[in-house]
Amino acid sequence: MLNKKVEKILVEQIEKEAYSSNLYLAMASWAENQGLKGSSDWLYAQADEERMHMLKFVKYVNERGGKAVISALQQPPADFKSVKALFDEVLKHEQYVSESINNIVAVCYDEKDFTTMNWIQWFVTEQIEEEASVQEIIDKLNLLGDGNLYQFDRDIMSLRSAQNAAAE
């Protein structure tokens, strides 16, 4: 049976993962409207990945005897100043999610829920990869400055493919 404090923080994470999916979906739509197909494809894929993370939490909570609650979500922003500003927001958001995952680990430790603490380690590792992935994109955008985004946008999905291959 899932500890009630652990259940509460996992249910809170379900909402955060759902919001992450919606945020990246909104960002993808913005990028697509800017003619940035590569960036929008990357963000659409990221939105799908965050939804899968949400589902992992939902299923885990339910399988462990808790009750996964799906709450209403705040509307994400729809406009961004630039591609660089958008990816800066992605990194900031991923850092927020990393902090949230670390808080789950801390609650699991305090509550001696070592089963959930073991399960959540996948997300700890995933967040390290997520932050590194976005930082690599920001590094490339910093190299470009306000230059031509054509090649960056064309090649962004290859960054994702390379990172996925390295993770396997």
Is 127 one of the annotated binding-site residues?
yes
Residues listed for the chain: 168
Q: Please calculate the CA angle 25-8-64 and round it to the nearest 5 degrees.
A: 95
Query: What residue type is assigned to position 70 of the chain?
Result: I
Is 49 one of the annotated binding-site residues?
no
Is 63 one of the annotated binding-site residues?
no
Is 12 one of the annotated binding-site residues?
no
How is residue 69 written in tokens? Answer: 């609650």
Category of 148 on φ-ψ map: left (φ > 0), alpha (ψ -120 to 50) or beta: beta
Compute the half-sphere exposure of residue 57: CA atoms within 13 Å on the CB side of its CA.
25
Is 135 one of the annotated binding-site residues?
no
**Which residue positions form the known binding site?**
17, 50, 53, 94, 127
**Which residue positions form the known binding site for Fe cation?**
17, 50, 53, 94, 127
